[in-house]
Amino acid sequence: MALHTQHSAWPGSQTQSQVGIPPKGTAALGDLGGQSGAPSPSRKSQLRSYATAGANAPEPGPPAARPGRCGGRDGTKGGPAPRSSLDFECPAGGGAGARRRRRAGQPGPSPLPSPGCVHRGRVYPVLGTYWDNCNRCTCQEKGQWECDQEPCLVDQDMINAINQGNYGWRAGNHSAFWGMTLDEGIRYRLGTIRPSSSVTSMNEIHTVLGPGEVLPTAFEASEKWPNLIHEPLDQGNCAGSWAFSTAAVASDRVSIHSLGHMTPVLSPQNLLSCDTHNQQGCRGGHLDGAWWFLRRRGVVSNHCYPFSGRERDEAGPAPRCMMHSRAMGRGKRQATAHCPNSRVHTNDIYQVTPAYRLGSSEKEIMKELMENGPVQALMEVHEDFFLYQGGVYSHTPVSHGRPERYRRHGTHSVKITGWGEETLPDGRTLKYWTAANSWGPAWGERGHFRIVRGANECDIESFVLGVWGRVGMEDMGHH
C-alpha cells in the first residue's frame, strides 16, 4: 500500500493538550487489522463523528480539553491546571515562580522538546493513529506523517471539479459515505449481478403508441397514483440492490393493480434471507432469480419481516430464513411462520406474475410506466454517482486523468418512477428520468435522482423490467 511521508518537527511551545484527535489506542488499532470488508462498527462510529452534511470534508477535529495539572506554589505537583495563556506551560521546576517570571516578562526555563508531527497546521503525538476520511495516518517516531493512499468514496477534489465544471448536477458529501473507500462503495452499496446472456436475450414486450398518441412532457407515478408509490428504503452496507429494487417495484405494482386494496411495502429481507438459489444475499444477486421467487414463493411485508440492517461480515453466516409458505391452490400461497417482528401478526404473502422485459426505446418505457406503474432498471454506477446531490445526472469525465483505481464502476438496479425535461441556459432541452435509489432519503433528491433520458446513460435503458401484481377478487376486500 502506498504511503505518503511528511517530515515535520514538534514545536517546543506545543503541549499534548493542543494536538488534534487523540490516538485511538489499542482498541482502534485492533479494528484495523485484517480489514478486507466494510468498516467495522467501532471504526464507523469514529468516522461518523467526523462526518458532516456539507460539501467540505472535515479534518480530524481537536479533542475535548483535558484538565492538566501544574506545579503548586512550592513547585510540587498539585494545584489547578492553568487557565490563562500565560499559565499554559508547566516546565519542570516551574510552579508559581515560573508564572511570576513570565508575567514580569522574564524568560523561564526552556521546555523540553517532545516528538510529534505537524499536519495541516495541527500537532499530533508520536505513534498516534488517526483517520483522515478513509485513510489511516500515523505519526512515526522521527516526525514522519504517513498515510494510506486509498481513493475515498467521498472525494473533495472530485466534488470541486464537478461543481466547477457545469455538468448539470451538484455533487457533495453524503455523510453516510464518509470514511469508506471507493472500493467499499462499489462492493457494498450496489449488489446487482449483471444478467446472463440467456436472460438478456429474453423476448422484449413491445408497446406501440396509437395513431396520433402523444406522451406528456412530464409524468410522475406518485401524482397519478397518490399513496400507492412508496418511498425509498436504505440498503446500508448490504450489497443487496437486487432485492431492494425488486421489492420496491413489486410494492408499487401490487398496490396499483389491486386498486389500492393492498398497499404493502414488501420485504427486501425476505428476499435476502430466503431467496438463496444462485443468490448471495448481501453479497449480490440476480434480478431474474428475485422475480422467480416473488412469483413462486412470495414475500411478506417489510413491517412483518424488517430489514436487519446487518452489515456484511466476511466471517459471519448470513441471517437464516425466518419466513416460509405453502401452496393453497390456484398458485396462491400462505405463510407457515409467524412474522419475525413479534409485534406484527399480519403475515400475508404477496406474489406477482412472471416479469417481462421492455424494449429499450424511451417511448416504450414511458408508455409502460404511465399505464402500469414504475419499472425496474439496471444501471452502471460510476465513482461520481455516489456524490450526487441534485440536478440531472450524467457520468462526468473528471476522473479520466487520474489512475485507474480512481475510476471504478459496478452494476446496480433502481426503480424508475417518471420523466420530465428542462430547458438549459443555451436553449437546449434536457430530457430526464426520475428514479428512486435505495440509499435512504438523505441521499440525492430525497432518496431519488434524475438522469439523462433517451441516451442510455449508464445503461439505464438497456435492461428494463415490468411485472403485474398477482391480485384475485378475494384480495380486493379483506386487506
- What is d(CA 146, CA 345) in angstroms, rounded to the nearest whole number? 56
Cβ contacts of residue 296 below 8 Å, gap of 6+? none
Q: Look-up: residue for cell 413489486? A: 250
SS3 content of the chain, % helix, strand, coil (to 5): 25, 25, 55
What is residue 225's three-state secondary structure? coil
List of long-range contacts for 341-349, beta carbons under 8 Å, 24+ apart: 341/303, 341/304, 341/305, 341/306, 344/301, 344/303, 344/304, 346/301, 346/303, 346/304, 347/300, 347/304, 347/323, 348/264, 348/300, 348/301, 348/479, 349/297, 349/298, 349/299, 349/300, 349/325
Whether 479 sits among the annotated catalytic residues: the reply is no
Q: Are 191 and 287 in contact (CB under 8 A)?
A: no
Integer CA distances (angstroms), 34 to 4, 40, 42, 144, 367, in order: 21, 11, 15, 24, 51
pLDDT of residue 11: 34
Whether 270 sits among the annotated catalytic residues: the reply is no
Integer CA distances (angstroms), 242 to 1, 19, 245, 283, 348, in order: 33, 46, 6, 10, 22
Neighbours of 80 (CB within 10 A): 11
pLDDT of residue 315: 52
Residue numbers of the chain with a pLDDT score lower than 50: 1-112, 312, 479
pLDDT of residue 17: 30
Q: Are 389 and 154 in contact (CB under 8 A)?
A: no
What is the grid cell recorded at 43? 471504526
Q: Look-up: residue for cell 376486500? A: 477
Q: Given the residues 7, 437, 478, 479, select the one marked as catalytic.
A: 437
What is the grid cell recorded at 472? 384475485
pLDDT tens digit string along 134-179? 999 999 988 889 999 999 999 999 999 999 998 999 999 999 999 9
- Which H/E stretch holds residue 372? helix 362-372
Q: Given the residues 230, 257, 286, 412, select the one marked as catalytic.
A: 412
* Domain map (residue ranges) of the chain: 1-57+111-150, 158-478
Mark 171-190 as b/e (b = at least 16 C-beta within 10 Å). Answer: bbbbbbbbbbbbebbbbbbb
- What is d(CA 252, CA 414) in angstroms, rounded to the nearest whole number? 13
Total residues belonging to the chain: 479
Which of 284, 248, 269, 246 is closest to 319 using CA atoms?
Answer: 269
Integer CA distances (angstroms), 2 to 5, 24, 199, in order: 10, 22, 42
How is 318-331 classified by DSSP, letter by letter? PPPP---EEEEETT
Which of 269, 254, 262, 278 is closest to 309 using CA atoms?
Answer: 269
pLDDT of residue 200: 87
- What is d(CA 266, CA 349) in angstroms, rounded to the nearest whole number? 9
- What is d(CA 353, CA 249) in angstroms, rounded to the nearest whole number? 13
CATH number attached to the domain at 158-478: 3.90.70.10
Integer CA distances (angstroms), 270 to 303, 332, 340, in order: 11, 17, 10
pLDDT of residue 106: 47
pLDDT of residue 332: 86
List of long-range contacts for 319-323, beta carbons under 8 Å, 24+ apart: 319/269, 319/272, 319/273, 319/281, 320/273, 321/273, 321/274, 321/276, 322/273, 323/267, 323/270, 323/273, 323/274, 323/299, 323/347
In DSSP terms, which residues pair with 283 in a beta bridge? 239
What is residue 332's three-state secondary structure? strand
pLDDT tens digit string along 287-341? 999 999 999 999 999 999 999 876 545 556 778 999 998 998 777 899 999 999 9
- What is d(CA 376, CA 252) in angstroms, rounded to the nearest whole number? 11
